[in-house]
Amino acid sequence: MIPVLSTVDQFLQQMQTHPINWEEYPAPGKWSPKQIIGHLCDSAQINLQRFIRCTYEQNFKLIYHQEEWVALQRYQEMPVEDIIKLWQLLNGQIQRVLDDYPPDRWQVTCDNGRYEPSFNTVEFIARDYVAHMQNHFKQIIA
């Protein structure tokens, strides 16, 4: 099992004991914690599409232009509670999809390379997705 929801829950628990200035930019050109959670919403949306499409096709290309998505969705202007709720809902859906994933489709690949082809299996993408969230949690909680 891929621990998507338990990873989200761990972060939400850590938030209770670590004060976070959601609006603060750590440095010029860097995202605020609020934008990082927004970015994780975007990542969830893109990966959910990958997981679903890989059940019926393979080797398709689906990339994520993160700077453009974060800017266009204006996460900095949204209430952080709304962003967190969206992120929780998206991850709940990812967990439901992965919990019942067809066993014969875990090794199907899709191309998520932005500048050159980069084919990865569903299993790799799912595990990398959880690691990606954990890395961003460290940025926020630091």
pLDDT score, position 108: 98
Q: Which domain range does residue 40 map to?
A: 4-11+31-141
- Which band of pLDDT confidence, cut at 50, 70 and 90, is reported for residue 113? very high
Whether residue 139 contacts residue 132, with contact meaning beta carbons closer than 8 Å, is answered with no
Q: Which two tokens stand for residue 91?
A: 């991850």
Asked whether residue 101 is domain-assigned, the answer is: yes
Provide the 8-state DSSP code for 109. Answer: E
Asked whether residue 53 is domain-assigned, the answer is: yes
Asked whether residue 25 is domain-assigned, the answer is: no
Query: What is the model's pTM?
Result: 0.96
The yes-or-no verdict on residue 135 having pLDDT over 90 is yes
Asked whether residue 50 is domain-assigned, the answer is: yes
- Which band of pLDDT confidence, cut at 50, 70 and 90, is reported for residue 42? very high
The yes-or-no verdict on residue 1 having pLDDT over 90 is no
Domain count for the chain: 1
Provide the 8-state DSSP code for 75. Answer: G
Element (H, E) at 119: strand 119-121
pLDDT score, position 142: 77
- Cβ neighbours, 10 Å, residue 50: 20
Asked whether residue 23 is domain-assigned, the answer is: no
Share of the chain above pLDDT 90, in %: 99
CATH of the domain at 54: 1.20.120.450
The yes-or-no verdict on residue 94 having pLDDT over 90 is yes
The yes-or-no verdict on residue 79 having pLDDT over 90 is yes
Whether residue 14 contacts residue 141, with contact meaning beta carbons closer than 8 Å, is answered with yes
Asked whether residue 22 is domain-assigned, the answer is: no
